């Protein structure tokens, strides 16, 4: 995996708000007004890219942006307005379960006739589609587990210990070569993709940006710690069967061993994590703060809502025979599926 400590370049804007944000970070223009966030689509390209850029300042930042912008008061005000627009839409659209028990129960149910992305890729996906999927998911997987780490100072006792244990596994259990972000970079290399951090930001859809932004939104706000735990539960509980299907897709299409290994690793690891998250992270949190049960359920629902939007975008494009990316992949390889 490329290790550029300068961070990626700022991406091209996708609308007036993201244009103003990037101009401000370059020192060439003023910030947008906070009220400008009210007039753009909550799940659209402009808002999601602007929010992603604001959040990325808390991770590796951008090559041409000074580190001081991470806590720039004016930019934080704009980010707050974008977050309010995004979070309000999620609360209106994604609060589907009446109780946490119902939300968790639904996570444990595998559909008889699967119609999701991992089912499609396992059964009929082409290698070029697996490459597109990996390119888009790289926005999270090249910093896998990092967004969830924000919640650790906001937990204590059993929940904190269990969350730290799962995160330790995600970071390779102390072995650099086993860090899951490194394993995903190896997967990308097997698929002929550029492993540079942030390389596919401009190509990625608004739908996948929203899935990554959700983690940062929940993680960076202490009041949303319950929602972050819900998001984490949704990811870990559903990961093992989905990873098994993706591993089968990699084998069927002739992807390399590292591509297969990444998902094989998640089949085993996340089956264990599921139990830890349900019984110790959620159980420990609610033993201390039972009033957060509805927030945990909201985190599960919001995760499902955005993953469904992303999956719908992928399947609509692929079934129509077109790319799911905003810009085509720079490296082409022979599709042997």
Domains of the chain: 16-93 (no CATH), 100-319 (1.20.910.10)
Helices 16-26 and 45-56 meet at what angle, rounded to 10? 30
Q: What average pLDDT is seen over the chain?
A: 92
Q: How many CA atoms lie within 13 A of 169 on its CB side?
A: 17
Cα separation, 272 vs 246, in Å, equals 18
CB-based contact 110:241 (threshold 8 Å):
yes
Among candidate residues 336, 145, 134, 119, the one with its CA nearest the CA of residue 244? 119
State pTM to two decimals.
0.94
| Low-confidence residues in the chain, pLDDT < 50 | 1-3, 332-337
Q: Is the dihedral of CA 144, 138, 200, 260 positive or negative?
A: positive
pLDDT of residue 270: 60
Cα separation, 256 vs 249, in Å, equals 11
Token code pair at residue 7 = 């961070």
pLDDT of residue 269: 67
Cα separation, 134 vs 191, in Å, equals 8
What is each CA distance from 166 to 29, 228, 295, in whole angstroms? 43, 14, 21
Cα separation, 231 vs 146, in Å, equals 14
Among candidate residues 136, 117, 121, 139, the one with its CA nearest the CA of residue 324? 136
Cα separation, 121 vs 45, in Å, equals 25
Q: Which string of b and e fits 86-107 if b means at least 16 CB within 10 Å?
A: bbebbeeebeebeebeebbeeb
């Amino acid at each position: 995996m490329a290790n550029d400590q300068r961070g990626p370049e700022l991406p091209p804007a996708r609308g007036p708000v993201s244009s103003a944000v990037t101009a401000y970070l370059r020192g060439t223009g003023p910030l947008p007004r906070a009220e400008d966030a009210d007039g753009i689509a909550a799940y659209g390209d402009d808002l999601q890219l602007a929010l992603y850029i604001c959040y990325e300042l808390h991770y590796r930042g951008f090559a041409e942006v000074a580190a001081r912008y991470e806590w720039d008061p004016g930019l934080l005000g704009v980010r707050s307005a974008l977050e309010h627009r995004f979070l309000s839409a999620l609360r209106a659209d994604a609060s589907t379960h009446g109780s946490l028990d119902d939300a968790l129960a639904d996570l444990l149910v595998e559909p008889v006739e699967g119609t999701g992305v991992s089912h499609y890729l396992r059964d009929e996906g082409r290698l070029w589609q697996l490459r597109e999927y990996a390119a888009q998911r790289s926005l999270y997987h090249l910093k896998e587990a990092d967004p969830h780490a924000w919640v650790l100072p906001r937990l204590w006792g059993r929940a904190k210990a269990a969350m730290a244990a799962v995160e330790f596994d995600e970071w390779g259990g102390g072995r650099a070569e086993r860090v899951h972000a490194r394993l995903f970079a190896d997967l990308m290399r097997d698929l002929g993709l550029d492993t540079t951090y942030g390389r596919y930001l401009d190509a990625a859809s608004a739908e996948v940006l929203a899935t990554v932004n959700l983690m940062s939104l929940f993680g960076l706000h202490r009041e949303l710690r319950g929602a972050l735990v819900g998001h984490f539960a949704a990811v870990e509980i559903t990961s093992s069967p989905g990873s098994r299907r993706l591993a089968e897709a990699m084998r069927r299409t002739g992807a390399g061993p590292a591509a297969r290994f990444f998902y094989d690793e998640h089949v085993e690891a996340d089956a264990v994590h599921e139990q830890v998250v349900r019984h110790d992270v959620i159980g420990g949190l609610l033993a201390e703060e039972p009033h957060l049960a509805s927030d945990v359920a909201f985190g599960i629902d919001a995760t499902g809502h955005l993953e469904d939007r992303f999956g719908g975008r992928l399947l609509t494009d692929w079934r129509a025979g077109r790319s799911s990316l905003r810009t085509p992949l720079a490296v082409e390889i022979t599709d042997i599926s």
